[in-house]
């Protein structure tokens, strides 16, 4: 019988399950979207049960459709949307409140108060993160304050906090754990000591009893409950989606860079075995921990990447499906001077402005839906170009190429414009499902499905290489104009 690794790729808008064989090829794929909830402006929530039921459904579906028995699955690897905060009952597994999504801005005021109290430096020094509502700590603090009885129950050990990886593992096999990559995104984890930080727990008033055990990114955690599949499957790999994508892109050496074009855009550089202190407001984060110790990454985060295209589809209704955007954008030679800054939930790196809001500038009577679509596609590339500029200023290693993945990486128009703005080649691999692939690799290493990182790196193959072709003066002019548009979006939602 042919054996596989099953990757569970739990994202912001959908849950996916992908089977990978020993050659790193896809043996089956299933996906299911689940509802998004926006109860107030700036609030973004999920029903944690929707996350679990959709993820279980696609896991079962891919096995059924690929005619693969659970006994053929050597292990399960998990990649997950990061920072999204779930709080549930330890005894029953019932969520006590909606999950607060990473995009949610309800705790921006709390972050402002902490910044005014001079706590941003402590947080940055311990965690490598900017003080921002993006991360889990203030979300968890909000839940403990606003869910009746939650704080007392958490102190008694009756509640479990976790990011989505923890929630899935709890439902899969009953363990309350998180891996080092996800822990490093909570703003409660000391990336130097590799443990929960007592000073940060005190600062955010988080009882330690609510926290998961921290484990390595590759290693057997437990086996799935008998009721889920016809035979138990080991759960053996966990990483936050962007760290998993970096591993799946075989960025195993310092200086290698990948950019994932998903709901958001996330550019990560392998920084080596020690954290890099950013002077450009990038994040220093844990990539993964294997038997040879931790790997650190330098990261820039864009909150609205592919989600900008979803807004064209769902908000404006100018396309029927997300894949239509490339043809509509390509129907005009350029954006006609239109620039769209998709700061719908604020701006991430390098600005970190929770009060920025979406802005369209440069509209004229001649502007059409096609120009707006083109501006939306180009906005994804502009935001990523800002990240690379910041990264090159911070890092000791020159960037020679950017490996691209994620759904929007299939958009040739976007990839070419991105290479033009970056001034370095953008390389698209044959397997663009690198988030799931990275989770599979981490799980497969734990059960000896793959022998080494070197064996994994040898499987990476280029599908297409986009070379920069834009004159430098044109590139500089476009980036300067983008900077002006960004300034017009900043600080908008301030009372």
Binding site listing for ATP: 12-14, 263, 306, 310, 407
Structure tokens at 222: 């437990």
Exposure b/e, 231-243, CB count within 10 A at least 16 = b: eebbbbbbbbbbb
Phi, psi of 233 (to 5 degrees): -125, 130
**Binding site, annotated residues for glycerol:** 82-83, 134, 241-242
Query: Cβ contacts of residue 345 below 8 Å, gap of 6+?
Result: 42, 44, 103, 104, 105, 303, 304
DSSP 407: G
**Binding site, annotated residues for sn-glycerol 3-phosphate:** 12, 82-83, 134, 241
As a whole number of angstroms, the distance between CA 392 and CA 404 comes to: 17
Q: Is 118 exposed, middle or buried (0-12, 13-18, 19+ CB in 10 A)?
A: exposed
- Length in residues, the chain: 495
Angle between helices 369-394 and 412-422 (to 10 degrees): 40
Exposure b/e, 128-164, CB count within 10 A at least 16 = b: bbbbbbbbbbbbbbbbbeebeebbebbeeebbbbbbb
Q: Is 377 exposed, middle or buried (0-12, 13-18, 19+ CB in 10 A)?
A: buried
Query: Cβ contacts of residue 375 below 8 Å, gap of 6+?
Result: 335, 338, 339, 340, 360, 362
Q: Is 475 helix (H, G, I), strand (E, B) or coil?
A: helix
Secondary structure, 3-state, 96-154 = CCCEECCCCCCCHHHHHHHHHCCCHHHHHHHHCCCCCCCCHHHHHHHHHHHCCCHHHHH
- Do the Cβ atoms of 289 and 279 come closer than 8 Å? no
- Closest by CA position to 185, among listed 129, 246, 262: 129
**Binding site, annotated residues:** 12-14, 16, 82-83, 134, 241-242, 263, 306, 310, 407, 411
350: alpha, beta or left? (left if phi > 0; alpha if psi -120 to 50): alpha
**Binding site, annotated residues for ADP:** 12, 16, 263, 306, 407, 411
């Amino acid at each position: 019988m042919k054996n596989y690794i099953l990757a569970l790729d739990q994202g912001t808008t959908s849950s996916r399950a992908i089977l990978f064989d020993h050659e790193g090829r896809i043996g089956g794929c299933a996906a299911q979207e689940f509802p998004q909830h926006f109860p107030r402006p700036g609030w973004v929530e999920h029903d944690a049960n929707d996350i679990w039921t959709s993820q279980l459904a696609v896991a079962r579906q891919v096995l059924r459709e690929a005619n693969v028995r659970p006994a053929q699955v050597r292990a399960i690897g998990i990649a997950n949307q990061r920072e999204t905060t779930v709080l549930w009952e330890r005894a029953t597994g019932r969520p006590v409140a909606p999950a607060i999504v990473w995009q949610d801005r309800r705790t921006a005021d709390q972050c402002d108060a902490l910044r005014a109290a001079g706590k941003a430096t402590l947080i940055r020094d311990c965690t490598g993160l900017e003080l921002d509502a993006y991360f889990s700590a203030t979300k968890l603090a909000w839940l403990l304050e606003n869910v009746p009885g939650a704080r007392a129950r958490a102190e008694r050990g009756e509640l479990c906090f976790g990011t989505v990886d923890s929630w899935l593992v709890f439902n899969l096999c009953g363990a309350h754990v998180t891996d080092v990559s996800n822990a490093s995104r909570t703003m409660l984890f000391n990336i130097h000591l590799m443990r929960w930080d007592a000073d940060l727990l005190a600062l955010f008033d988080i009882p330690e009893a609510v926290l998961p055990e921290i484990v390595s990114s590759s290693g057997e955690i437990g086996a799935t409950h008998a009721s889920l599949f016809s035979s138990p499957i080991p759960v053996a790999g966990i990483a936050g989606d962007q760290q998993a994508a970096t591993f799946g892109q075989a960025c195993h050496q310092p200086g290698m860079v990948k950019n994932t074009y998903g709901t958001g855009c996330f550019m990560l550089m392998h920084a080596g075995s020690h954290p890099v202190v950013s002077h450009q407001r990038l994040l220093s984060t844990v990539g993964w921990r294997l038997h040879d110790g931790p790997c650190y990454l330098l990261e820039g985060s864009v909150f609205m990447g592919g989600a900008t295209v979803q807004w064209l589809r769902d908000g404006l209704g100018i396309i029927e499906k997300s894949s239509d955007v490339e043809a509509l954008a390509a129907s005009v030679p350029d954006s006609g001077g239109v620039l769209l800054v998709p700061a719908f939930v604020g701006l991430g790196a390098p600005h970190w402005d929770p009060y920025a809001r979406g802005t369209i500038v440069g509209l004229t009577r001649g502007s059409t839906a096609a120009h707006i679509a083109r501006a939306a596609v180009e906005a994804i590339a502009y935001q990523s170009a800002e990240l690379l500029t910041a990264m090159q200023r911070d890092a000791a290693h020159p960037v020679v190429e950017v490996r691209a993945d994620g759904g929007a990486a299939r958009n040739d128009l976007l990839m070419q414009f991105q290479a033009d703005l970056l001034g370095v080649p953008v390389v698209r691999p044959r397997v663009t499902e690198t988030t799931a692939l990275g989770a599979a690799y981490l799980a497969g290493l734990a059960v000896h499905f793959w022998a080494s990182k070197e064996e994994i790196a040898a499987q990476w193959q280029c599908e297409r290489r986009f070379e920069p072709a834009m004159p430098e003066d044109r590139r500089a002019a476009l980036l300067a104009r983008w900077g002006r548009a960004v300034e017009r979006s900043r600080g908008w939602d301030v009372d």
